[in-house]
Amino acid sequence: MVILGKRYLISDRNIAALSKKERVFEHDFIDAVRGFNLRDALIAIGRASLEIHLSKSPFKVGRAALKDPSTSVIVTQHSLAYIANILIISGANDFKNKRLKVRDDLLSLCNIYYCSIVEPLLQEDENSSDQEQLRSFLIRMYVEQMELQFSPAYMIARTVLLFNHIANRVPPTRFPPLNEIMLEEAGISLFDYLRMGAISFSLLSKQPTLNIHNFTTAIVPELKLRLTEERVRCFINILCADYQRFRETDSLYNQGLEAKYTKNRFNPLYIYPIAHYHVSEHLFSS
């Protein structure tokens, strides 16, 4: 868990007003960000996430966080994901003119996220022995530190091994092989799915946006045969959501969540890490 002292940065008027509050509630955060151009803001968040991933700065904290040397604000992948989540459900859209500045606005939002958003541990009148509150804290702490513990490359390899292990242990008479189920349900085999996941990870390690042509223009002969437009669309359909679908998923999982547990909200980015932002094939990863 990151514990910071609040910093004050020059930022958008609404964000600056939010920074001055001792306690910030979820609805305050939503009000402050809904005025931004959504597509532009999500791409800015993607670039900040990419900077953390690629950085070799001495101010980097594992693979999950980066301390801004000039302000001492720590930006984490978890806080960026939360901000992206709130932006999408806030009612912001792609047609607004206000742009989210990484240098000031995003740093301020990360600072607010860690220092000001109301949660049980920051409220003196809360009973710290309450099991529900302790569970909330432990879950969020675990999620925030996952990237400190696991390398994405190791996780991909482990996934492949698990698929093989499970496929060999499940009695074939009980239900069809996993690969057949995947083909029937999603139109793509498990290993094509894993291949495309690895390719997506490679692409998004260079830029926060991608489109179908990033896959179908492959020049590696074996990949060119496998990366057909139909397979790529099947892969994208599993991981991609437009804004409306994202909001519906957020509502489904978080409709009964108390505002004080907003930091522990279920983030639909866990299901849909790729967002479709236009009727064309352009996509971005948050």
CA torsion angle 63 69 74 77 (round to 10): -40
Do you know the residue count of the chain?
Answer: 286
In this predicted structure, what is the pLDDT of residue 223? 75
In this predicted structure, what is the pLDDT of residue 146? 61
Q: Is the full-model pTM beyond 0.85?
A: no
Residues 244, 229: Cα–Cα separation, whole Å: 25
- Cα separations in angstroms, 166 against 16, 129, 171, 179, 180: 52, 40, 10, 11, 14
In this predicted structure, what is the pLDDT of residue 279? 43
In this predicted structure, what is the pLDDT of residue 1? 36
- What stretches of 66-106 show up as alpha helix (H) in DSSP? 77-89
In this predicted structure, what is the pLDDT of residue 280? 46
- Cα separations in angstroms, 260 against 71, 141, 169, 256: 27, 16, 43, 12
pLDDT along the chain (286 residues), means of 10: 51 89 93 95 93 88 82 89 96 92 90 87 59 66 61 70 73 74 89 85 83 77 79 90 94 90 89 72 59
